[in-house]
Amino acid sequence: MTLELTNCTYGYRRWKPPVLRDFSYTLPEGLTILLGPNGAGKSTLLKLGASVTRPQRGRVTLDGSPAGTAPYRRAVAWMPQDITPMPTLTAREYVAYIGWLKGMNRTDAWKQARKALVRVNLADQVDSRTNRLSGGQLRRVGVAGALVHGARILLLDEPTAGMDPYQRRVFRDILRGLTEDVRVLLSTHDVADLAEEADHVTVMHGGGVIHHGNTGTFLRHTPPGTLEGRAAEAAYTELLRSRGVAA
Amino acid sequence: MRWWFKARKGHTLLPLALAVFLGALYAVQDTTVLLPSIVGSPRVALSLFVPVPLLAFLMAALESRLPAAESSGVRSLARLDNSLITAVMAAAVLCGVLVAAVQGTAAATTGGRNALFLTGLMLIGRAWVGQAAVMVPVGWLVTIAVVGFRGNLPYAWTVIALPADHVFAAAASLIVFAIGLVSHTRSSRRSA
């Protein structure tokens, strides 16, 4: 399944310059890490991909099917930066509700919600109210919500923010466990943590893509003499510096 | 649907809201208060303010949601939300009729009618300013208190200050409520 943005322009306010201007992007296969400084347009790209906002110009399609249609929305899962806790819902109800909203029937949503929570290591919290969960646990509930309906495209906005090292490892295991035909676009600031898992790296700045390629190409930006384990971070910094962004 | 209802706190907030509304409507009866005004000092029925907590509860219920999941989902919740709003308003009108029957005065029926009108205003405002629209009905009440009376007689545009048997007020309340529902549906579609 190919998610494509073609010549998209999007701005939050009419009187302000658009965040994305004439932006085109095709999500490659596998896991793509989306990097970039704050305000680069990463979250906007994910929102357009999730079809929660429409571009003022341009098209967003999934295998030719326009964004916003039911088949499109069933195939795409989006996990936003902020996961809203819901005091009246347990973790399982929360995830099942997301599944139901994505078109699953009640029985399937209820069954799959438990499975999704087990996948994110929250089997012991299925009946906990979501407002009682820690920030990291709540993010894992968000990840479970993205997994519950078997989407073919996952758009994850900083999913590891606030997770401790153990939870991050669990999250990396989940990414590894996804079937090959699931494409993932993951926005993050944890460059070092996730770059080694990625098939591709996209770097955004100022509403445009300043680098896109496989992880090997990205890591070639690593300056010589970089400490072991710091290659991805150094490559990212060097890439931004070479484009005059770090200055 | 059950999860949607729980997400909207329909099982906790709304019964509480209606209980408060019913209690307040029963308690204020025909009480009037003297309010400061630009034109004269009108005595305003206290029941005018009774719908305000109900509206606040209703807004809290509508705002209790999973914005990301609801705006990227396949199911449209606007119809369900509209049904919820209509059910609450029907219950409010019923409360008014009930209190009026118990007290033997028609004044309490204005509570339900006014709830309809003010909810309509709030929903129209919500399409533009979101949660802050709960202040729109409050603003309407303040405007009425300040410039809505000529002596002790309300102007027709105030709607909610008109007597219980006023046909124009009843019709205007229904129309504004209907426009509110349409605005709510349209804004839900836009945000989706």
Q: What is the ipTM of this complex?
A: 0.85
More confident residue, A145 or A13: A145
Tell me the angle at which helices B109-129 and B13-28 cross, rounded to the nearest 10 degrees: 130
Average the pLDDT over A104-120 and give the result. 94
Q: Which residues of chain B are within 8 Å of residue A88 when distances are taken between CB atoms?
A: 6-7, 9, 11-12, 64
pLDDT of residue A98: 95
Provide the 3-class DSSP secondary structure of residue A31. Answer: strand
More confident residue, B51 or B192: B51
Candidate from A42-56, A166-180, B156-170 with smallest mean pLDDT: A166-180
Does the beta-carbon distance from B66 to A100 stay under 8 Å? no
Q: Is the pLDDT of residue B38 over 80?
A: no
CATH number of A3-242: 3.40.50.300
Q: How far is A188 from chain B (nearest CA, A)?
A: 18
Instruction: Give the β-pairing of B32-34 and B43-45.
Output: antiparallel
pLDDT of residue A160: 85
* Euclidean distance between CA atoms A217 and B161, whole angstroms: 72
Number of domains in chain B: 1
pLDDT in tens, B122-150: 999 998 898 899 999 999 998 988 888 88
* Euclidean distance between CA atoms A54 and A105, whole angstroms: 27
pLDDT of residue A175: 82
* Euclidean distance between CA atoms B13 and A124, whole angstroms: 29
pLDDT band at B40 (very low <50, low <70, confident <90, very high): low
pLDDT of residue A117: 94
Report residue A84 as tokens.
């809203």
Does the beta-carbon distance from A84 to B67 stay under 8 Å? yes
Q: B41: part of which helix (H) or strand (E)? A: none
pLDDT in tens, B143-190: 988 888 887 888 999 999 898 889 999 999 999 999 999 999 988 765
Average the pLDDT over A162-190 and give the result. 83
Please give the residue range of the domain that contains residue B158.
Answer: 2-191
pLDDT of residue B46: 84
A108 touches chain B (CB under 8 A): no
Total-model pTM: 0.87
Per-chain mean pLDDT for chain A: 88
**Which letter does DSSP use for residue B148 in this model?**
S
Q: Which residues of chain B are within 8 Å of residue A78 when distances are taken between CB atoms?
A: 68, 72
pLDDT in tens, A118-130: 988 899 999 999 9
Does the beta-carbon distance from B73 to A102 stay under 8 Å? yes
Q: Which of A3, A47, A52, A130 to mutate to test the interface with B (most CBs of B within 10 A)?
A: A52
pLDDT band at B192 (very low <50, low <70, confident <90, very high): very low
Does the beta-carbon distance from A103 to B75 stay under 8 Å? yes
Q: Which of A89, A101, A106 sits opposite B74 (nearest CB)?
A: A101
Other residues' Cβ atoms within 10 Å of the Cβ of residue B155 = 14
Candidate from A15-19, A85-89, A101-105, B118-122 with smallest mean pLDDT: A15-19
Q: How far is A162 from chain B (nearest CA, A)?
A: 19
pLDDT of residue A44: 93
Is the CB of residue A197 less than 8 Å from the CB of residue A31? yes
- CB within 8 Å of B10: residues ≥ 6 apart: B61, B84
Instruction: Give the β-pairing of A76-79 and A153-157.
Output: parallel
What's the CA angle centered on B174, arms B173 and B176, to 5 degrees? 65
CA distances from A199 to A21, A25, A32, B120 (A): 26, 16, 6, 52
Could you tell me how many CB contacts below 8 A there are between chain A and chain B?
67
Q: How far is B129 from chain A (nearest CA, A)?
A: 15
- CB within 8 Å of A143: residues ≥ 6 apart: A79, A120, A156, A159, A171, A174
